Structure 1
Amino acid sequence: MELQPTQNKQVTSNHEKILELKNLTIDFGGLRAVNNVNLTVNRGELRGLIGPNGAGKSTIFKLIMGIHSPTAGQVILKENDITKTSTWQRARLGIGIKMQIPGVFGELTGYENIRIAAQNYVVPNEIDEEINRLAKLVGIEHLLEHEVNNLSHGQQQWLEIAMTLSSKPELLLLDEPVAGMGPEETAFTAEIVQRLNKNGVSIIFIDHDMEFVRKISERVTVLHQGATFAEGSIAEIESNQEVIEIYLGSDVYEGA
């Protein structure tokens, strides 16, 4: 199944900022994993974050979510400084994160997994309706009664996206959502991401699959050695000779 370009992308409202990273820095012992990163994401945006392994991409996600505390700099959500806010408070304020490795409960059904996630955000008499809404939004209604251990890797990823959506995030962070997927699962994941964005969720995603990045990104930020290396449209990034040299490689570029 061939990926199709994003259709009907949501237009940002007066370039309203949903997230700002200001001079964000973190040191782990003598290693500076993130170095003075500045990043602005507008409401309604679909932003790709790419770069070589070890560039600091996942660490930035953990800084945004409050899993790590920065050595210096700020995380601003909807014009509010949340740098010292706890992870659970950030979830309540509108940030959701889906990490690369699915965090699902294998011996439970898809329904039961979403219920565990949703029970913290939905009153008991509305939880069944909410589970069905989330499953329909992601497109996994047919997986609700299946034991998760019997689902494919891609299906488990989609299930966890539904679980993450239970907190009704305004900003969704997706760490390598198509890693380990075949073409059909990758195409369906692209449809999910585009659908969520069209429904008003601002999204930042990390991925190494450049076809996936090319087809759905509105804007791309390239990281290298913990710092912002380049930023622009996918066309601008793929024509940037320095980006080609440090990340894309001539073989990837020529096949674009």
Structure 2
Amino acid sequence: MLEIKGLKYQVADESGESLGILNDVSLEIEDHKLVVITGPNGGGKTTLAKAVMGLVQPTGGSILWNGVDITEKSITERARMGISYGFQQPPRFKGLRVKDLLCLASGRENLATEEACQYLTKVGLCAHDYIDREVDASLSGGEVKRIEIATILARKSGLMIFDEPEAGIDLWSFAKLTETFQAIHARGEATLLIISHQERIINLADEIVMIEDGRVAQHGPKEEIFPLILERTSAGCTYLSQEANK
């Protein structure tokens, strides 16, 4: 279980005044749930996700993973505990093959090609077409994101965090990406925490967390929270309301 208790993150603005990015955020996320974090831009979603991974250090509160306080632990320590983070724009590595990346992720230099291919197959890639390719600019955004998910699977991650995974990818890759998330969730391999505004990703969720002004504005089952979001956005002609009426 992931437990976030009274989490705060404050920074100083240009005038030196304290600015609250996260303001007393508290959440409990049970194992093997698929939870989507959504809400207005600038509300604190990415900061919350980065705080869980250890990419930013909160100024108050605590984070517990499986009962262990990880608030002060490093990114490396959290990764060893089974926490992984998928970036909006995953890095590319010219000269590094997909198999090399999977070996690094698994912590095994002698990772068998057959096992490496299994991770690629799970994310919807034809393994033998990708295993020896370089992770460079020749790959599309969707391909790189699915390879990143494969490395997270190879790392045996119990908590997978993805920050707007739909950003910058084409519709075909986006469809494959949602299938990948759905399959991971169906197999019960991990707890998934996904930041997204996309209705098709939100519809995969067991629970929705809406973050606004650095606070939890809503948290509950998708069937309860998504209609509330649509009600709030219907007057603003937002993407979600447009998608709901298609």
Q: TM-score, normalised by structure 2?
A: 0.87
Distance in 2 between residues matched to 1:237 and 1:254, nearest whole Å: 17
Q: Secondary structure at the match of 1:239?
A: helix
**Which shifted more, 138-147 or 168-177?**
138-147
Matches within 5 A, 1:160-179: 160-179=148-167
Matched, 1:144 2:128: no
Query: What corresponds to 1:43 in structure 2?
Result: 31
- Aligned match of 1:226 in 187, 190, 214? 214
Q: 1:255 to 1:174 in 2, by over 3 A?
A: closer
Partner deviation per Cα, 1:162-199 (whole Å, 9 max, x = no partner)? 12222211110011111122322111101111111223
CA distance, structure 2, for counterparts of residue 57 and residue 85 of structure 1: 21
Aligned to 2:69: 81
Which whole-Å deviations, capped at 9, do the CAs of 1:194-226 have from their partners, x for residues lacking one?
Answer: 111223211000012123212x11110000011
Structure 1's 229 and 248: CA in aligned 2 closer, same or farther, altered over 3 A? Answer: farther
Counterpart in the other structure of 1:128: 113
> How far did 1:82 drift?
1.1
Matched, 1:210 2:199: yes
Q: What does residue 4 of structure 1 align with? A: none
Q: Which of 59, 63, 85 lines up with 1:71 in the alignment?
A: 59
Q: What's the % identity of the aligned pairs? A: 29
Matching residue's letter, 1:171? L
1:38-62 Cα distance to aligned partner (Å, 9 max, x none): 1111111000000111111111111
Q: What's the counterpart of residue 102 of structure 2?
A: 114
AA aligned opposite 1:24: L
- Who is 1:19 aligned against? 2
Kept after mapping to 2: 8 A contact 1:50/1:221 = yes
User: 1:244 Cα shift?
Assistant: 4.2
Query: Structure 2 counterpart of 1:71, which letter?
Result: T
How many angstroms apart in 1 are the aligned matches of 2:52 and 2:162?
12
Deviation at 1:19, TM superposition (A): 0.3
Listed one character per residue, the Cα deviations across residues 103-161 of structure 1 (whole Å, up to 9, x for unaligned) are 2313433223323333xx22x33453442232222222132223332111110111111
Are 2:208 and 2:226, in contact at CA under 8 Å, matched by a contact in 1?
A: no
Supply the distance in 1 between the matched residues of 2:171 and 2:110 (Cα, whole angstroms): 39
**Counterpart of 1:190?**
178
Task: Indicate whether 1:53 and 2:41 are aligned.
Answer: yes
2:87 aligned residue: 99
**In structure 1, distance between residues paired with 2:197 and 2:183:** 21
Distance 1:247 1:27 in 2: 32
What SS is found at the alignment partner of 1:115?
helix
Q: Is the CA contact 2:199–2:243 (under 8 Å) kept in the aligned structure 1?
A: no
The total of aligned residue pairs comes to: 234
CA contact (8 A) 2:20 2:214 kept: yes
Which whole-Å deviations, capped at 9, do the CAs of 1:229-252 have from their partners, x for residues lacking one?
Answer: 1112333223226x7436994453
Distance 1:208 1:254, change over 3 A: closer
Partner SS, residue 240 of structure 1: helix
Which shifted more, 134-143 or 189-198? 134-143
User: Residue 213 of structure 1 aligns to which amino acid in structure 2?
Assistant: I
Render the CA deviation track for 1:63-121: whole Å, top value 9, x for unaligned: 11112111111101011111111111111111111111112313433223323333xx2
| Alpha carbons 2:185, 2:192 under 8 Å: kept | yes
Between the aligned partners of 2:113 and 2:235, the Cα distance in structure 1 is: 45
Aligned match of 2:15: none
| Counterpart for residue 144 of structure 2 | 156
